[in-house]
Structure 1
Amino acid sequence: MHARLSGQTDLLGFRNEARALLAHQVPPDEVQWETGSEAEADLFASPPGADPSGARSIPKAATAIVPASFLRLCEVVVLHHDPQRFSLLYRLLWRLVHEPTLRNDPIDPDMLLAQQMAQSVRRDMHKMKAFLRFRQVADDEHPGEVLHVAWFEPTHHIVEAVAPWFARRFTTMRWAILTPERSLRWDGSQLLFGPGGRRADAPPPDAGEQLWLTYYQSVFNPARLKLDTMRKEMPRKYWPDLPEAQLIDGLAAQAQQRSGQMIERPASEPQRRIPRPVAADPVVTLHRDGIRSLEELKAATMRCRECPIGEHATQSVNGEGRLHAPLMFVGEQPGDQEDLQGHPFVGPAGQLLDRALAAVDVPRDAVFVSNAVKHFKFELRGKRRIHKSPSQREAAACLHWLEDEIALVKPKALVALGATAARSLMGRPVAVTAERGRWLERPDGLKVLVTLHPSALLRMPAEDREAAFAAFVADLRHARALLG
């Protein structure tokens, strides 16, 4: 009996066919699974449970109760390249229904084989994320812009499964990934899939690649070199697509000599990160930093490593809005969405701020919004990046960038959203709950209105949010009144 699937990773089709086969009590050894072009070979074969007219009748018993872990296993195993994977999964489904003790057998050969296949798929997905290298080419569809193109040869059918990860990771740039079976493109808003390509379609090395090789060579630690472990984690099959692979043999040959030189060197004193001093007048700080525009400020903060946050963030997130805006809003730091998109206040807190501005009749594009800290500080919990408040030293290290921004924007007044922003703007601790809604004055004469950060409202119990939002809007009315 033939079971047809529309493609190599047709999980939905597999589930439907498996239900029909199981309902008609078709044993696994009597089923031949066909995918893609194979399924088109026999156009006149009848599907399971079909009558001569072609209509399928599925009995009510087509539903099988299996552990949720088996469904998750199926989602991964269908991505494997083994043509017998669907036969294995149907055999396991059949046995789970007819052999209830199978779910408690940790050493069953079929289950072990499926788990090994799933592990191989996950490893292949990890390798694609780790060993894929983009190169820049001119974007024919958007003249004057850059398209980042990469070539990769996955072992399994993982391209569509791993595509959302690349879309989240590289949201702000246009890119394409070529593989022998499928091509993938991100146009800035949606994922587009196409037919496979050839290695010859991949672009040649670009200028950025040489910078990467220089960086790789400089951070190579000969004392930690373990060639066998490296080859296990980075098999040679990936080396043709890795620019740094050309350096490995030479660096490995020099490892022993360089290790000896490292041992003979005197101990070095660790460098302390000391916040840069900030002048009372923001214009003075601006001249010290040599910044002449918001674009130059963005470039400088992208390179900034005066505190550890910048090493782990995706990018710096500077303020946005019009120059000489009457009001400049300053929050704490960018969040997860801001870090990925590169724009301030675009996440849930930003949406709440937009609502509050609309309530006091202040358009978002009429103000300037920014943060005291320009990089996203977080801690990983599983796959999620959870916001973590910056320390006073980290905020102090970023203060001169904030003052540069104030000097460039030249607002009439500032609005401090939360304690971190208030401390950075006033140069002293500020009790937000006691001083919210009040105008304070900086040494340079700029007035500062202190209020809560919108994210504080989001963390409140649902029954308290409406009153808290009304109080937040009332604070913003004070700023609106100052502008007339």
Structure 2
Amino acid sequence: MRTVALPDTDTAAAWRDAARELLAERIPPDGVLWQYGAAESDLFATAPTPSTGGRTRVSRAFVDLAEAVCWHAEPERFARLYALLWRLADERSVMTDRGDAAVAKLREMEKSVYRDMHKMKAFLRFREIDATGSRRRFAAWFEPQHHIAEPSAAFFARRFGDMDWIIATPDRTVHFKDGEIALAPGQPRPPLLKDATEQLWTTYFRNIFNPARLKVKAMQSEMPRRYWKNMPEAAAIPDLIAGAEARAREMQRAAPTLAPARAAKITEQLSMTPTDTPAPGSLSALHQEAANCTRCPLHRNATQVVVGEGPRDAPLMVVGEQPGDQEDLAGRPFVGPAGQLFDRLAEEAGLDRDKAFVTNAVKHFKFQPRGKRRIHQKPDAGEVQACRWWLEAERRLIKPKLILAMGATAAMSLTGTGAGIMKRRGTFERTEDDTPVLLTLHPSYLLRVPNAAAKAAAERDFRADLTLAADWIARNAA
């Protein structure tokens, strides 16, 4: 039995190193005992023997999954990850199997970690502890469900880089001083004194509280009660709930007449206009930010945001329209029928999907409920424009040599117009920053063609475009 003792800082990297070594030695999952919270120098409690095996390649999806799950609080998280890694050597498609219980459990854990990180960003409250120096000093206390203080530290350093601060949690304490992050052991809740900011938070909360839209259960779901004791504005919640009905009636009496339909449409479009906030500097940070996207109304009904996936240095970026029903549930692009057709035709054309970055112009699923089914709806121009910020952020990070735009929506987002896609397919155009764009059909179109002869012709055209993309990459990506 091999015992692996992981440190309680930089845990994800330590797990990757240990798992790589164990896999190279062909140590099975039931032959490893994982421990957490050891000193950094004691990674292997039982010394490893020199490895003789080769490396196992895994997808970016697994790497990102492991990075998140390592911060989960469940003691068995490392064993679960290694068991899945062991299977990936022989079952490369298991990550896309929606019915696999092990993958489903790890995805649930990943989602729980990201949700906890989001709650920390939303509900952590700083209090000023010293305003006499050149940099003001603040402190905060937070009680997360998982070990997220370390992976969340970079976010707070970016957001509050102009001040020194301490974030204390029972598990880990994060110090930020003069632009540098330092980690220390956790501690009990410190005696933080009230400051002027608490009154500001309460005033702000009272002003944004809308009694006409009060739903207590929904509010407690988004803002669980266990966070209230550390949020100064939470003291006002009982009073606001008690007076909500009277205030809502007062608002109704003072409400103006309804605006004309066109004015309402303009207001909605303005609310969908992307802001000029800077994009995160890594794909994982970008994906975490995208999980909270509210740039257009599509986030309200979709299960989750579906961002792109693939190598960071991919020479080819493949852009589709939007997630479908299966992608919306799985949280990954092109895993449904259209994606499976794309994979088959791409393989026939000599195009390796694993070497491309695959994404969509719109990141949330737009649909119309019909009984138990969700019927796809094409995103409109405003929704495409609102989501273009995320696509451009992905482009800036990937820096592809060539973009394959599949369908009219992708063409609109990348070139400014989606008109005449049937005549334009098979041709190269350019983005605003002069990146070449090869236009082609969307694989979902091929699935909808009713006539067998027309379907075969459309598949030939699509396969030819994929071959053209593969040949272009082979000639120009070196």
TM-score (norm 1): 0.52
How does 1:118-267 map onto structure 2 within 5 Å?
A: 118-138=110-130, 143=133, 146-201=136-191, 203-265=192-254, 267=256
Aligned to 2:51: 58
Instruction: Return the alpha-carbon distance in structure 2 between the equivalents of residues 222 and 28 of structure 1.
Output: 54
Distance in 2 (alpha carbons) for counterparts of 1:381 and 1:85: 35
Please tell me whether Structure 1 or Structure 2 has the larger radius of gyration of its CA atoms.
1
One-letter amino acid of the structure 2 residue matched with residue 244 of structure 1: E
Question: Contact 1:223/1:255 (CA < 8 Å) preserved in 2?
Answer: yes
Q: Kindly state the Cα deviation for residue 21 of structure 1 after the two structures are TM-superposed.
A: 2.0
CA distance in 1, matches of 2:219, 2:23: 46
Counterpart AA for 1:172: D
Please list every run of 5 or more consecutive structure 1 residues that lacks an aligned counterpart in the other structure. Answer: 50-56, 271-307, 314-333, 338-377, 387-458, 463-484
Task: Return structure 1 stretches of 4+ with deviation > 4 angstroms.
Answer: 38-43, 334-337, 383-386, 459-462
Q: Secondary structure at the match of 1:36?
A: strand
Q: 1:383 to 1:224 in 2, by over 3 A?
A: farther
Taking the TM superposition and a 5 Å limit, the aligned residue runs for 1:274-289 are none
Worse-superposed segment, 78-87 or 207-216: 207-216
Aligned counterpart in structure 2 of residue 382 of structure 1, from 377, 384, 390? 390
Structure-2 separation of matches of 1:186 and 1:39:
22
Q: In the TM superposition, what whole-angstrom CA distance separates every residue of 1:327-374 from its partner, at most 9, and x where no partner exists?
A: xxxxxxx9959xxxxxxxxxxxxxxxxxxxxxxxxxxxxxxxxxxxxx
Match among 76, 92, 96 for residue 84 of structure 1: 76
CA distance in 1, matches of 2:277, 2:105: 42
Task: Give how far 1:263 is off.
Answer: 1.3
Q: How many residues align?
A: 279
Q: How does 1:238-387 map to 2 (within 5 A)?
A: 238-265=227-254, 267=256, 381-382=389-390
* CA contact 1:9–1:78 (8 Å) conserved in 2: no
- Equivalent in the alignment of 2:315: none
Structure-2 change in CA distance of 1:384 and 1:163 (3 Å): farther
**In the alignment, is residue 68 of structure 1 matched against residue 60 of structure 2?**
yes
Q: Alpha-carbon deviation of 1:383?
A: 9.8
Residue 119 (structure 1) shift = 0.2
2:168·2:174 contact (CA, 8 Å) conserved in 1? yes
Q: What secondary structure, in the 3-state scheme, does the structure 1 residue paired with 2:162 have?
A: coil
Identity of aligned residues (%): 38
Q: Which residue is equivalent to 1:109?
A: 101
Question: For residues 74 and 461 of structure 1, do their structure 2 counterparts lie closer, same or farther at Cα, with a shift above 3 Å needed?
Answer: closer
CA contact (8 A) 2:170 2:187 kept: yes
- The structural deviation recorded for 1:182 is 1.7
- Structure 2 residue 29 is the aligned partner of structure 1 residue 28: yes
RMSD: 3.4
After superposition, the C-alpha distances for 1:408-451 in whole angstroms (9 at most, x for unaligned) are xxxxxxxxxxxxxxxxxxxxxxxxxxxxxxxxxxxxxxxxxxxx
Specify whether residues 167 and 380 from structure 1 end up closer, same or farther in structure 2 by C-alpha distance, changes over 3 A only: farther
Deviation of 1:254 (Å): 1.0
Deviation at 1:172, TM superposition (A): 1.9
Q: Partner amino acid for 1:13? A: A
* Paired position in structure 1 for 2:47: 47
SS at match of 2:190: helix
- Secondary structure (helix, strand or coil) at the match of 2:13 reads helix
- 1:85 and 1:126 mapped to 2: Cα distance? 20
What corresponds to 1:19 in structure 2? 20
Q: Which amino acid aligns with 1:46?
A: T
What secondary structure, in the 3-state scheme, does the structure 2 residue paired with 1:82 have?
coil
Matching residue of 1:274:
none
For residues 86 and 383 of structure 1, do their structure 2 counterparts lie closer, same or farther at Cα, with a shift above 3 Å needed? farther
Per-residue deviation at 1:269? 11
1:96 aligned onto 2:102: no
Give, in whole Å, the separation in 2 of the partners of 1:239 and 1:199. 15
Q: Deviations 1:197-222 (Å, cap 9, x if unpaired)?
A: 32134x22112211221222123110
TM-score (norm 2): 0.52
Cα drift, residue 8 of structure 1: 5.8
The alpha-carbon deviation at position 9 of structure 1 amounts to 4.7
In 1, the alpha carbon distance for the partners of 2:178 and 2:391 equals 23
CA distance in 1, matches of 2:257, 2:93: 62
Against the structure 1 CA distance between its residues 220 and 13, is the aligned structure 2 distance closer, same or farther, given a 3 Å change threshold?
closer
After superposition, the Cα gap between the structure-2 partners of 1:137 and 1:380, relative to the gap in structure 1 and judged at 3 Å, is: farther
- Structure-2 change in CA distance of 1:336 and 1:112 (3 Å): closer
Aligned partners of 1:136 and 1:206 also within 8 Å: yes
Contact 2:173 2:183 in 1 (8 A): yes
Question: C-alpha separation between the residues in 2 aligned to 1:205 and 1:211?
Answer: 12
AA aligned to 1:114 is: L
Superimposed CA distance per residue, residues 232-275 of structure 1 (whole angstroms, 9 cap, x where no aligned partner): 111111011111111111111111111111112252899xxxxx
Q: What residue identity is the alignment partner of 1:262?
A: M
Amino acid at match of 2:223: M
After TM superposition, give the deviation of residue 25 of structure 1 in Å: 2.3
Residue 199 of structure 1: SS of its match in structure 2? coil
Describe the shift of the 1:109–1:39 C-alpha distance in structure 2 as closer, same or farther (beyond 3 A): farther
Change (3 A) 1:379 1:32: closer
Residue 38 of structure 1, CA deviation: 8.9
C-alpha change, 1:15 and 1:144, in structure 2 (3 Å) is closer
Instruction: Show the counterpart of 2:474.
Output: none
- After TM superposition, the structure 1 stretch with the greater mean CA deviation from structure 2, 210-219 or 105-114, is 210-219
Unaligned runs of 5+ residues in structure 2 are 260-269, 280-385, 395-431, 436-478
- DSSP 3-state at the match of 2:125: coil
